[in-house]
Amino acid sequence: MKRLAMALFGIVLAVPGLAQTPAPPKVEDAPAPALPASLMFSPTDLAEIEKARRRQAGASGLAQWGSEAAVPMKAMGNVYLSALMYLGANRWTAWINGQSFGPGAATDTIRVLGAAPHHVDLEVEVPDRPPLRLRLAPNQTYLAAEGRVIEGIVP
């Protein structure tokens, strides 16, 4: 048995290229493909969404989504949490009334006190009253006229 193994080993070494592993194919240095603007919507859908946002912002007089301009509480009324992306105690973003907020963020009417994986604590300036403290989960709205929190987005 030992002789057979030695004979096979000798054959492998004697035949050129048999003991060598093939080199991996060369990969050309091509630029990485560009990521799409959205994984959920086509470019046409995105264009339609942006048109609708601009149309709605112009009709209501509100700032466009994601803009830094704060809308006064008197004009805003309701406070809603659209989404929350929580990655850690100091790594989160909340979208409140169409604006993004991070740790320590505030406007003249809304101050974010903190966030947890499933909710955000806020302090909202209300005319002629002490600041109002709220806890909202994503897809919840504080109805200013009724003084209660409901499920769903009501701008």
Summarize pLDDT for 14-60 with one digit per residue, the tens: 666 555 666 666 666 656 666 666 667 778 887 887 777 777 655 54
Is 40 inside any structural domain? no
Phi, psi of 154 (to 5 degrees): -130, 95
Summarize pLDDT for 98-154 with one digit per residue, the tens: 899 999 888 888 999 999 999 999 998 877 788 889 999 999 999 888 888 999 888
Is 92 inside any structural domain? yes
Is 111 inside any structural domain? yes
Tokens linked to 103: 């740790």
CA distance 144 to 128: 14
- In the sheet with 148-151, reading across from the earlier edge strand, the strands are 99-101, 91-96, 79-88, 140-143, 148-151
Q: Which residue has the higher pLDDT, 38 or 80?
A: 80
Is 119 inside any structural domain? yes
Q: How many CB atoms lie within 10 A of CB 10?
A: 10
Is 147 inside any structural domain? yes
Query: Is residue 66 predicted with pLDDT exceeding 50?
Result: no
Q: How many CB atoms lie within 10 A of CB 99?
A: 19
Domain extent for 145: 65-151
CA distance 17 to 72: 77
Q: Nearest to residue 75, comparing CAs of 100, 52, 98?
A: 98
Name the domain count of the chain: 1
Is 18 inside any structural domain? no
How far from 123 is each of 11, 25, 105, 115, CA to CA, in Å?
81, 60, 11, 12
DSSP string, 61-115: -PPPTT-SPPPPHHHH--EEEEEEEEEETTEEEEEETTEEE-TT-B-SSEEEEEE
So what's the pLDDT on residue 7?
A: 65
Question: Which residues, listed in sequence order, are joined to residue 121 by a DSSP beta bridge?
Answer: 114, 135
